[in-house]
Structure formats: C-alpha cells, structure tokens
Amino acid sequence: SSQNLSEEFAEAARQLKKEAPRIQFGKIDVTHQHDLRKEFNIQAFPTVKFFVNGSREDPIDCKGVRKASTFVTWVKRRTGPSTVLINSTAQAEAIINADDLAVIGFFRELHSGSVEVFCEAAREVPEMPFGMTASEEVWANYGIQRSSLVVFEKGKPVHNEVLEDGRQNKLGLTRLIKTFTLDLVTEYNIETSVKIFDVPVENHILLFTPTDSETFGEIYENYRSAAVEFRGKILFVLVDTNEARNGRIFEYFRIRDIDVPAVRILNLTSEAKHKMPADEVTVENLKEFCQSYLSGTAKQHLSSEEIPEDWDKLPVKVLVGKNFNSIVF
C-alpha cells in the first residue's frame, strides 16, 4: 500500500542521511500538484523517481522497490559502483553466504561489454548482492571455464549463464536475475500479485488446481520440477481454485470447476493465452507445452463458448470464438 511504502521510504531517508547526506528524499501529494503530475507523467501510485545532478529531464524510475533496505541499495548503486570487486575466494564466500541469494560475474578482464551489461543489470536488482571477479584463484575454486554469471542460492550455484562479450542485453539479464527473487513456484494471492507483475518476465504459466485435492502433492511436484528448467524464461504461478478471492483470474481465463487442474500460458505483452493440450499435469507434458510455446508452435487458445445448436436458424447468425473465423472469413 501507499502508506506502507511511504514508511519504508522515510526509513531509507533516515538511513541515508548518515551515510550519504547529499542524497535528498522528498514526497509530493500529486492530488494537489497537478502541474508536477502532468510534467512527470505520473500514471500510477505510488511512483518513485530519482533526479540526477539537479536535472528535471529524464528522471530514473525506481520500480518495484518496496523495502527501506532495498531503497538504500538501489540509490547507492545509482550513485556509486553497483557490484563488489572480488579478489579472493574468502571474499567470494563472504558475499555468497551473507544472504539467501547472490550473483557473481566471472570475467577474463574487467573492461568489456559484458562487464558493463552486468553492472547495469546489478543496478536494476537491488534485492540481491552482486560481485564480480577476474581472479584465476576464484575461477578455479568454482570450476568456472568461461565468462559467466552465476546465481548462488543458500551458498550453492543454481544457475550458470555464459556471458559472450557484447551479446547480452541488460533487459534479458535483469529478467533472468529477477526471477530468482521469487520462489520457484509462486502462489498467486493479493500479496504476491504485485511482486509477480513487478518481475519483468512476460511469459507466465499458471496452474489452476484446488490445493486440498488428493492429487495436489504429486501435481505440484511435477509443476515444480518443470519450473527448474524454464527459470528466467517462464514464470511459474500456482492459483488455488478453492480461494474465492481468486475469482477474477478464473473469469479472465474462463476456467470452470470441471476444467481443473488446468494449465495456461499467458504472454503479458500481447495478452495471448495458450492452453496445455494434454490433460495430465506430468513433467513431460509441462515441458513439452513450455518448449512448444517458446519455439512458437503452440496454438493460441481463444476462450470460447460452444457453438449453439441453433446458431444458423435466424437471419442474424450467432457467432462465438469457435465459429467466428469460418463464418466471417
């Protein structure tokens, strides 16, 4: 909520007053400041913008930041180095074990296009510590063979992304790293929905199922296993069909009780929906569905009512999704 964010924002201001007194925090009630709302094109609330060097032009949007500690990190990474330079294994271990998650960039040299992209991505993900190294000792310790970005979870490497100089883009890396700030499978509810849409991954797969059914345990394990392979490409979401507050999302996907368990993929940009062709939620079926979606061979699912038996009886024909194309075109 705005109130919550306002308190965290104030706490960040207090912390940074000691550490970086040159950074000023301010808040504006745009319901009374219409000119400022228009000038900075404020569409949603709350919005946080960062102004650099006294310029009103092109402030930087601070999106998805919710906690005081993350605000502090975000600002520090905008005004100073965004990653810690690692020169020894002990230093690397300290960063990797300090938090649940950490990202380390292993580079041959510290002046390259890949390093630049890595540092830019670090600015966008203040929830996680970032380090980078060109130390042969550190490379050898983790068995790294090529320039890579490695994500560590609870001290263990869980993802290795080879970095080819200049080929990566910031958005792609940011998307990949941001997915690790969510659980492998995120249950959809009022609290997590904000976080789900903050993570810039445009492909979401949703499993609709009652969480108290006898088969839930097995289905969930299969879903979780498939999620490992597609982390960073498709976001795995679980929707409990017993939860009345999730009603709107069932309506949006036209999910009925007789359809569950049901699996859908949604592309947030185009709003295209895809339905898993198989009925059984097995690891194999899920992987096949995700692969066909990513390769562009999955058929788009157009939610439609069944064709009414008397659709053709009257001069004005009754059209639904399933007969629209064949009749109109």
Structure tokens at 132: 């980078």
Is the Cβ–Cβ distance between 182 and 235 less than 8 Å? Answer: yes
Q: Which helix (H) or strand (E) holds 275?
A: strand 273-275
Q: Which two tokens stand for residue 325?
A: 């194309």
Output the pLDDT for position 292.
95
Stretch (H or E) spanning 307: none
Do the two domains 1-72 and 183-295 of this chain adopt the same fold? yes
Domain 84-178, second-level architecture:
3-Layer(aba) Sandwich (3.40)
CB 234 within 8 A of CB 205: yes
Angle value at C-alpha 202, between 106 and 73, nearest 5 degrees = 50
Query: Domain-by-domain residue ranges, the chain?
Result: 1-72, 84-178, 183-295
Is residue 213 packed enough to be buried (19+ CB in 10 Å), middle (13-18) or exposed (0-12)? middle
Beta-carbon contacts of residue 37 (< 8 Å; ≥ 6 apart): 30
The CATH homologous superfamily for domain 1-72 is: Glutaredoxin (3.40.30.10)
Identify any residues that bridge with 208 across adjacent strands, giving them in sequence order: 239, 262
**In a 3-state reduction of DSSP, which class is residue 29?**
coil
* Nearest CA-CA partner of 118 in 166, 156, 58, 159: 166
Backbone angles phi, psi at 244, to 5 degrees: -60, -30
Cis amide prior to 200 (ω within 30 degrees):
no
| Alpha carbon distance 190, 177 (integer Å) | 23
The two three-digit tokens of residue 230, written as one number:
């597609």
Interval 23-68: pLDDT, tens: 888 888 888 888 888 888 888 778 888 898 888 888 888 887 888 9
- pTM score, two decimals? 0.73
Structure tokens at 127: 């929830």
Cβ neighbours of residue 69 closer than 8 Å, sequence gap 6 or more: 12
261: DSSP letter: S
Query: Using CA atoms, how far apart are residues 101 and 103, in angstroms rounded to an integer?
Result: 7
Torsion of CA 106, 111, 117, 122, to 10 degrees: 60
Query: What pLDDT shows up at residue 325?
Result: 58
Pick the CATH number of 183-295 from 3.40.50.720, 3.30.565.10, 3.40.30.10, 2.40.30.10: 3.40.30.10
State which residues of the chain have pLDDT below 50. 329
| Distance in angstroms (rounded) separating the CA atoms of residues 214 and 221 | 13
